[in-house]
Chain A
Amino acid sequence: MTNHYIDFRNADVILNMGSNVCENHPVSYKWIKAAQDRGAVFIHVDPRFTRTSAKADHYVPLRSGTDIAFLGGMIKYILDNDLIQREYVVNYTNASFIVGSKYDFMDGLFSGYDPVKRKYDKSHWAFETDENGIIKKDPTLQNPRCVYQLLKKHYARYDLDVVSQITGTPKENLLKVYQIYGSTGKPDRVGTELYAMGWTQHTVGTQNIRTMAIIQLLLGNMGMAGGGINALRGESNVQGSTDMALLFHIISAYNPTPQAKHKDLATYNGMNTPKTKEPMSANWWQNRPKYMVSYLKSMYGKAATKENDFGYDWHPKLDDGQNCSWLTLFDDMHKGRFTGFFAWGMNPACSGANANKVREGLTKLDWLVNVNLFENETGSFWYGPGMNPKKIKTEVFQLPCAAFMEKEGSLSNSGRWVQWRYKAVDPLGEAKPDGDIMLELYESVRKLYAKEGGKFPEPILNLKMDYATNGKFDAHKVAKEVNGYDLTTGKLVANFTKLKDDGTTSCGNWLYSGSYNEDGNMMARRDRSDPTGIGLYSKWAWCWPLNRRIIYNRASVDLNGNPWDSKRAVIRWDPAAGDGKGGWVGDVPDGGWPPMVNKEKTKLPFIMKPHGVASIFGPGLNEGPFPEHYEPLECPVERNLLSSQRINPAAKVFAGTMDQYLTCDPRYPFVCTTYRVTEHWQTGVLTRWLPWLLEAQPQLFVEMSKELGELKGIKNGDLVEVETARGKVKAVAIVTARWKPFNIAGQTVHQIGIPWHFGWRWPENKKFSRGGDSANLLTPNIGDANTMIPESKAFMANVRKIKSKG
C-alpha cells in the first residue's frame, strides 16, 4: 500500500476493482464507511455481486480478465475530456519526456519483439537524450513523440463501444465510473484504488496495476491523503515477508538477487545501481552499494571483510536469467530436478495452480518436510485422492510449529506499519516457533559441514547466526540486526541514512533501518496521538521507510510546497521552520529538500525512480511500456477485439503433459474464476479445523447465474462437477441473481466462480455432504509475464449436474 487502510476515510472516490474488500478485509470497511459518511462514492467493479457490492454505492460488472480494457477506456475518457491535473502531470511524471524513434506500437505489439523467444528488446523503448545524456522534454505536452501524446494515441482505440464489447460492461456503467473517478483530477478531489489478487492473478497482472497507476498519476492522486494505489494483503505478514526476501528475484529490501554474471560485488553494483543525468533527481537507488555491503555484514559478520568482497562470493546466486518462481519450481519438481522440499507454513497441494501437477510433483521427491500447525493436504498427499501409497517413495516429516499468538516478533501490515507483537501463550506439545526450528536446523547443518567439510562449506560456516538467547530464538536480536549497527561503536544505527559501503555498518534490511534503534523498539510504540488529523498516527508502531506513512508525499504539494488540498495536507513547507531556513511539517517527507521552486536545492518527488518522476511510460516491464489489453490464456473469444495478439506476447507458457490449456473449446464454454470467502483463510488449513467457521461455510460451492442454471438444468443446492482441461472438482451449486451473463460482442458469455479454501483432508466428506477438494485442481499454471503469479482469476471451465435435489 502507498497509503493505509485508515486513509480510505480521506478519499472522495473509492474504487474497489480487483478485490472484494468488505469480504476479504472485513475490518477495513469501517474506513470506507467513514468516507461514505463524508459523502464519498464507493464503487465496486467485479464479475460477481458480492458482500462488498452490497455495501457499494455503485456495483459494476465486468468479465474476468478484461480490466485493462475497462481502465484503458477510462484513460481515454480522462484525456478526451482533459480531466488531468496538468501541473502534477507536467512536473511529477514523465508525460513530457520524448520517446526515441525506435519506439512503435502496431496491432498489439510494441517494437522490439522477438516472437521465437516471446521477448522484447526493451532498448527500443528508450527516451531521447540530448548531447549531455539528459532526456529531452516538452512541458507543453504537444510534441507528437512525448509520452502524453503517445499515451493519447495508444488509448484512442479504447472507445466505449469496443471496451463494452470486451468487458461485457454496459456502456452507461462504464461512463458512470469514468465520470465519477475522472472527477478526482481536480486538486481538491482525491480517489483511491483498492486491489488484491483479482488484479494480480492474471497473465497481465502487473499491467493491470500499471494501468491504474497511470490513471492515478494523470489525476494527481499519488502521494495524496485519500489517494494512492492500495494492495490489500491477504496474509497478516505477507508485506513483511516480501520485504524480507520471500521472492526469488529479490533479496531483502528489494535489492536484486545476485546472478552468476555478477561475478563480484563491483560488477553487481555496476549492473544494478541506476544512474541518471537528470540534475534534479535524487535517484535514491544510487545508495544501493551501501545497502548491499551493510547487508553482507549482517549475513557474514566479522568474516565479511573488504579483502573478501564482504563475503559476496558466499552469497547464493541465480544462474543468469534463472526464474525460480513458484510455477517454475513446481515444474522442476515435477521433472524430478530436485529431491527435497520444505513446505513451510504453506499448503501447495491446495494453493498451487494446477494442483494435480503439484501433487504429482510431490511424488517425485525423496523427502518432504511439512512445517505447519495441522496435517494438511501437502503432508498427506501420499494417501490423497488418486494416490497409491505403496508406489510413493517420498518420505514425509511433519514439524509442528507455533501459532501466531505463541511467539514474539514483528508483523508488517498492508500499510507498511511494522507492529511488535508479544507472546500470549506457550506453544502446545512439541510445537516450536519457526525461528527455533530454523536455528536448530542451521546448527545441525553447520555441525555436519564443520565435521565433514564438503564442496563449499564457507557460506554455512561463515554465516552469522547469533540470534539465540539461552538457547532460544530471540526476535529482538534479529530485529536489531535488521535495523543495523554502527560496527565501530557497537551501537544501533539511527536509520539507513547512516549506512556505509566500507564495512563499518551492518543492516539486514535497509528499508527497516530505524525500526529498532538506540531510542528503542519503535515497532512497540503505542501512542495514539494524531496531530495531522488525517489518521497518520505517526507514533503508533513504525512504518517503512523512515516512518513515512504516505509514500510519494512530496507529490501531494505544489511547486511552492503548499498542499494541493489544504483540508487534508500530508506535508507542507513552512518557510519559518528551522530558524527561518524552512522545513516540512506533517508526515516524514520523501527527502527533506526544499520545494520545487528552489531549483538549486530541490529534488524531484519520486525519489526511487532514476529520473525523479513517476512513469506514465514504463519501459521496464516485459510486455511493453503502456498496458495493452490481451485476453487470458484461456478465454471465451476467438480474437482480441483490439489487436491480432490474443494473449500476452511475453507470458511464459509451459508445455509438459500436465500443462493443458484449452481456449474457445466447446467442452469448456464458461469463464471461471476463483476467490475467497470471509469465513475461511487461504487453503483453510487454519479455518477448516474450526467448527464454527466450518459451520458458516461448510462446503465447496460454485456460483452461477440463474440463466446458466436454467441452461444446464442445475438448481440451487444441486451437486455438480466443475471441470477444466486440467482437472475436476465436485461442488454444490449456488444459483444466484448475483451473477449475470455477459454480453461479449453480441454473444452471451457465462461466468462461474468457486472458492479455493477447501481440501480433501478435512472435513470428512461423506457423500459430499460437506468439505470438498481444492479449486486449484482447475486453475492453469501460466504466469504473469513479469511476476509469474498464476492466472487463477480467469480460465475456461464446464459445469454439469451430478445429482438433483432431494
Chain B
Amino acid sequence: MAGKSFFIDTSLCTACRGCQVACKQWNKNKAEVTTQRNWGNYQNPPDFTSNTFKLVRFNELEEGGKVKWYFFPDQCRHCIDAPCMEMAQGLGSKAITRDAATGAVLFNTKIKVSKADFEEIRSACPYDVPRRNEKTGTMAKCTMCLDRITNGLLPACVKTCPSGAMNFGDRDKMLALANKRLEEIKKKYPKAQLLNADEVRTIFLVVDDPQKYHKFAAANDTFGVTRLAAIKKMIRPLANLANWPG
C-alpha cells in the first residue's frame, strides 16, 4: 500500500511535548486556557480540542509496588479505511476527505457540521480523535501537515521530536522500521506491540497493554466499528425521520 505513515515509538518518548507545541505553532492554533485546579496532572490541555491536534497523554500506574509513567503522543491515525469519513459520507457531509497521494484523512475546516452529525462522526472514530469548534461549527484534527509534506518537509511534530520517537515517511519504510524496532524491543519488553498497524497510518509502538496508556490507544475491533458505520449509513433515513418534530 502506498502513501505515507507515521511511526511513533512511545518507548523513546520522554513527554517533552515538543510535538504538541510544534503542532500548535505550525497550525497557528491558539493555546487553551488551562489550569491545574481540580485536575492536578501534567497532561494539559486535558484532552484534544479543536485547537489541539497533538496531545501527549500521561498515565501513571502502580504495579507490584513499582511506579510506571506511560507517555502517549496521541493524534489522528489517518485510518486506511477511515470510519469518520465513511460516517460523514453516510451523513451526506463532504467535511471529510482523503488525500489520494498521501492517504491523509482531512477535515475541511470550511464545511460546517451539525452537532448531532459531529457526535456520530466522533463516535465512529475508534480513537476518539474528531473535535468540533462550537463557535464555527467546523471540525478539526491532525492534518498530517499536508502543507509541509507536499513541500518536502517533515510534519512539524516529527521535525521537532528530539528523541526519535516521532517518525514519518513512505508507508512501506515506516512499517519496516516499526517491525524492526518491535523485534528489537521485544527482548526487553515481551508485551511490546504495534497498534492496529495494518489499519492506520499512525502506527504506535507500545511496550505494554495499550489500555495502560490511554483508553483509546488501540481499536479493539476496528472491523466492527467500520461495520457499525455501514449500518448507520443504512439506517440514516430512519434516523432522520426520528428527528422530525411531533
Contacts and interface: CB of A to CB of B under 8 A. Distances in A.
B227 interface: no
Interface stretch (B13-21, B218-226, B232-240): B13-21
Given A59-B67, A732-B36, A51 B15 contact: yes
B37 A769 contact: yes
Contact of B18 (A26, A30, A37): A26
B114 interface: no
Interface stretch (B24-32, B78-86, B130-138, B142-150): B24-32
B228 to A, nearest CB: 34
A736 interface: yes
A701 B39 CA distance: 11
A371 to B, nearest CB: 27
Interface in B181-213: 184
B34 A695 contact: yes
Contacts of B164: 30, 33
Nearest to A736: B60
A722 to B, nearest CB: 14
Contact of A692 (B25, B35, B41): B25
A93 B40 CA distance: 50
Contacts of B14: 22-23, 26, 29, 51-52, 54-55, 678
Interface in A683-732: 691-699, 701, 716-719, 732
Contact of A696 (B20, B40, B70, B162): B20
A806 interface: yes
Nearest to B34: A698
A27 B14 CA distance: 10
Nearest to A52: B14
Nearest to A36: B188
A643 to B, nearest CB: 33
Q: How many interface residues does chain B have, given as a range?
A: 35 or more
A54 B68 contact: yes
Contacts, number: 116
A511 B35 CA distance: 47
B33 interface: yes
A49 B38 contact: no
Interface in B92-131: none
A691 B31 contact: yes
Interface string A659-699: 00000000000000000011100000000000111111111
Which of A695, A736, A805 has the most C-beta atoms of chain B within 10 angstroms of its own C-beta? A695
Contact of B36 (A54, A55, A699): A699
A55 B71 CA distance: 10
Contacts of B39: 716-717, 732
Nearest to B62: A737
A53 interface: yes
Interface in A1-57: 22-23, 26-27, 29-30, 33, 37, 49, 51-55
Nearest to A769: B35
A738 B35 contact: no
B45 interface: yes
Which of B16, B18, B44 has the most C-beta atoms of chain A within 10 angstroms of its own C-beta? B16
A147 interface: no
A37 B164 CA distance: 13
A717 B67 contact: no
Interface string B52-80: 00000000111000011111000000000
A744 interface: no
Interface of B: 12, 14-18, 20-21, 24-25, 30-42, 44-45, 60-62, 67-71, 162-164, 184
The 7 closest A-B CB pairs, nearest first, are A691-B31, A695-B31, A732-B36, A716-B40, A717-B40, A54-B69, A717-B38
Given A691-B31, A693-B21, 4 more contacts: A26-B163, A37-B184, A54-B69, A732-B40
11 contacts: A37-B184, A52-B14, A54-B71, A59-B67, A677-B42, A678-B15, A692-B20, A695-B24, A698-B33, A732-B35, A769-B35
